[in-house]
Amino acid sequence: MDATEKRLHQLDNGVKENDLMSYQALYRVWRPRNFADVVGQTHITRTLQNAIMQDKFSHAYLFSGPRGTGKTSAAKIFAKAVNCERSPVKEPCNECPACLGIQDGSISDVIEIDAASNNGVEQIREIRDKVKYAPSAVQYKVYIVDEVHMLSIGAFNALLKTLEEPPKHVIFILATTEPHKIPLTIISRCQRFDFKRISQQAMVERMETIIASEGITVNREALEVVALTAEGGMRDALSLLDQAISYSDDEVSIDDVLAVTGSVSQQKLAGVIDALHNQDVKGALQHVDDLIQNGKDPGRFVFDLIYYLRDILLYKSAPGLEDSLERAIPDETFKELVERLEPGWIQQAIKELNQCQQEMKWTTSPKVFIEIAMLNLADNDSKEPAEAEAVKRLARRMEEMERELKQLKQNPPQAHAQSAPQEQKRPQQRGGRNGFKVPYERIRTVLNEASKDQLKKVHSQWANFMDALKQNNAPAHATLLNSKPRAASEKGLVLAFRYEIHCSLALEHQQTIEPLLAEFIGTTVSIIPIPEAKWQELREEYIRKQRSEGSPDEEESKEEDPLITEARKLAGEDLIEIHD
């Protein structure tokens, strides 16, 4: 596009002659002038074009969809097409007086109304009174009502009769981002078109056309980040591109766009994921701290991380879908992660980050929830036994178990004699720096009074209790995410936590947790936290004591079959179920 064509393009889009020397925002200069310029909405533009060509267009339309997807632009193009002097045409000529007058707003027969500021009954009654008058300059009088969901109930009622039986020379086009707020009586009188979010690929191609015409150099990777950040809105994409152009010097780079949008570079995202997969908690938390210290938006960071993991999973499943990647560019680092990460781990990581994203909406300290999510992800390997990776681990353990069982069958007493000292050699877990003291005597009291029925009652209501706690107190819910009820009596409940710090945090929310739990299990119990490793030690001590005393009442105190003892040692408590 040469300078003359660009100047005509600006004039056609409502830029006044005396404003041509001043800079105009890209989204204003490049607002669509014909249906072909409306990006990503072919299902709508083609239908409207066919209706115009066949002279079968409706008297009322409802254009709904996300912001910046072309609703108002399509409405204005439609108004030009039906009134073009060369009509019927698939595209307005943008040369006749009717097209030019509608484009620059000088023809009074095409009226654009902002319902956000003109939402009263009186304004709609004024429209209703004027529709009966024939258009003065073109064939059809077109009313474009933007953000129509902002109209009051009275205004909708005033509009209803006009929509039902309008004069033949009137067309209504209602545009909205929230169609669910419009009365069904209005919707049923319109032809509805749902504008969809514009794909990343389509937005990048449109921006490439624009920067080529503007003579601006922008890195392809930078355009992809702009498109992702815009979340399907072309207007938002052009506004961000405008900001990046102003921020940069000669060439718009990926760093310029990252600085403007607050997004995180692919290299940083890959570093965080690599640290989490390697269970390098310190490295992952250091990455998070650096990003936040550098002013990155925590919400955008989690959003980018989810999409990057999504791209890894998608590419791993079907490498031919490169064009469908939303956040990642398939470089060497990306492909290396694709090879190393297991689908089960990726899926669980996305779930954990999505949970973190939800929790962050209700807090003023998002970094805390990100750090908790990092801790959980670093320990992802043991969190979901039903996931694919856990199944692989179980398969390996089962192979080991089969070999051990063969030895036990040959010499059961000897195998049983060896199992006891092995259990005694388990290293004790070091205490945390927060100085949490395990209340051993209280837990032993609960164990002496504990019953299976009481623990089953807690387990049966635990999921419902956690859902209610999430609605009632998000920080308390986050604290209990990694806890498991281990023993319960009428007065106490032992909760085992993966990390010692969560034990202290749970006690801080004790006044919230205990009354709410009582509503679900029917009795008030005191929660007693303990780290998981300490619980295993205490439980084994309790079982040994019960055995030595010969207590017949505790199922766990019965002499176990050597096969079961060895199975517990190899597979772990969480993966074993014993049936009579």
Q: What CATH number does the domain containing 272 carry? A: 1.20.272.10
Q: Where among 356, 382, 408 does a domain terminate? A: 382
Indicate whether 1 pLDDT > 50. no
Indicate whether 482 pLDDT > 60. yes
The answer on 465 and 356 residing in a single domain is: no
- Residue 190: the pLDDT is 92
Task: Supply the range of the domain harboring residue 275.
Answer: 266-382
Domain assignment present for residue 109? The answer is yes
Indicate whether 12 pLDDT > 60. no
Which token pair is 568?
A: 């517990």
Are 327 and 304 spatial neighbours (Cβ–Cβ below 8 Å)? yes
Which token pair is 350?
A: 């996305």
- Comparing CA positions, the residue from 29, 28, 23 lying closest to residue 6 is 29
The DSSP string of 447-498 is: HHH--HHHHHHHHHHHHHHHHHHHHH-HHHHHHHTTEEEEEE-SSEEEEEES
Q: What is the mean pLDDT of the chain?
A: 81
The answer on 149 and 52 residing in a single domain is: yes
The answer on 165 and 79 residing in a single domain is: yes
Of 61-75, 354-368, 454-468, 539-553, which has the strongest mean pLDDT? 61-75
Q: In what side-by-side order are the strands of the sheet with 191-194?
A: 110-114, 141-146, 170-176, 60-64, 191-194
Which token pair is 92?
A: 């307005």
Domain assignment present for residue 207? The answer is no
- Residue 179: the pLDDT is 92
The answer on 434 and 369 residing in a single domain is: no
- Residue 332: the pLDDT is 83
Per-residue pLDDT tens for 498-543? 878 788 888 888 888 888 888 888 888 888 999 888 888 888 888 8
Indicate whether 441 pLDDT > 90. no
Residue whose token pair is 């056609």: 12
Distance between CA 155 and CA 128 in Å, rounded? Answer: 11
Residue 426 CA, chain-centre distance (Å), reads 42
Distance between CA 175 and CA 193 in Å, rounded? Answer: 10
The answer on 364 and 290 residing in a single domain is: yes
Indicate whether 386 pLDDT > 70. no
Distance between CA 63 and CA 75 in Å, rounded? Answer: 8
∠ at Cα 178 (177, 184), nearest 5°? 130
The answer on 176 and 40 residing in a single domain is: yes
Q: Where among 142, 163, 194 does a domain terminate? A: 194
Domain assignment present for residue 508? The answer is yes
Number of CB atoms found within 10 A of residue 564's CB: 11
Distance between CA 7 and CA 17 in Å, rounded? Answer: 9
Beta-bridge partner residues of 60? 172
Domain assignment present for residue 494? The answer is yes
Q: In what side-by-side order are the strands of the sheet with 526-531?
A: 483-488, 492-497, 526-531
Rg over alpha carbons for the chain, rounded to the nearest Å, is: 33
Per-residue pLDDT tens for 191-245? 999 999 888 888 899 999 998 988 888 888 888 888 888 878 899 899 989 888 8
Indicate whether 382 pLDDT > 60. no
Q: What is the mean pLDDT of residues 250-255?
A: 82
- Residue 277: the pLDDT is 87
Indicate whether 428 pLDDT > 50. no
- Comparing CA positions, the residue from 490, 485, 483, 484 lying closest to residue 448 is 490
Tell me the whole-structure pTM to 2 decimals: 0.58
Between 287 and 573, the higher pLDDT residue: 287
Residue 91 confidence class, pLDDT cut points 50, 70, 90 = very high
Indicate whether 419 pLDDT > 90. no
Distance between CA 58 and CA 190 in Å, rounded? Answer: 8
Q: What is the mean pLDDT of residues 351-372?
A: 85
Are 154 and 125 spatial neighbours (Cβ–Cβ below 8 Å)? no
Per-residue pLDDT tens for 540-568? 888 888 877 765 444 444 445 556 666 66
∠ at Cα 280 (279, 281), nearest 5°? 95
Domain assignment present for residue 560? The answer is no
- Residue 509: the pLDDT is 84
The answer on 446 and 320 residing in a single domain is: no
The answer on 432 and 378 residing in a single domain is: no
The answer on 124 and 64 residing in a single domain is: yes
Are 548 and 508 spatial neighbours (Cβ–Cβ below 8 Å)? no
CATH at 52: 3.40.50.300
Between 430 and 123, the higher pLDDT residue: 123
- Residue 429: the pLDDT is 41
CA dihedral 490, 492, 493, 498 (to 10 degrees): -170
Least confident of 248-262, 384-398, 423-437, 523-537: 423-437
- Residue 260: the pLDDT is 83
Q: What is the mean pLDDT of residues 410-438?
A: 50
Domain assignment present for residue 36? The answer is yes
The answer on 186 and 37 residing in a single domain is: yes
Q: Where among 174, 194, 214 does a domain terminate? A: 194
- Comparing CA positions, the residue from 67, 329, 299 lying closest to residue 195 is 67
Percent of the chain with pLDDT over 90: 18
Per-residue pLDDT tens for 138-157? 999 999 999 999 998 888 98
Domain assignment present for residue 580? The answer is no
- Residue 572: the pLDDT is 58
Domain assignment present for residue 545? The answer is yes
The answer on 190 and 48 residing in a single domain is: yes
Number of CB atoms found within 10 A of residue 130's CB: 12
Strands 60-64 and 191-194: parallel
The answer on 449 and 373 residing in a single domain is: no
Distance between CA 225 and CA 237 in Å, rounded? Answer: 10
Per-residue pLDDT tens for 109-133? 999 988 888 777 888 888 888 888 8
Quick one: CA dihedral 74, 78, 79, 80, positive or negative? positive
Beta-bridge partner residues of 251? 217
CATH at 462: 3.30.300.180
The DSSP string of 168-230 is: TTEEEEEEES-GGGS-HHHHTTSEEEEPPPPPHHHHHHHHHHHHHHHT-EE-HHHHHHHHHHH
Q: Could you give the number of structural domains in the chain?
A: 3
The DSSP string of 1-29 is: --HHHHHHHHHHTT--GGGTTS---HHHH
Indicate whether 364 pLDDT > 90. no
Q: Can you count the helices (H) and strands (E) in the chain?
A: 27, 10
- Residue 393: the pLDDT is 64
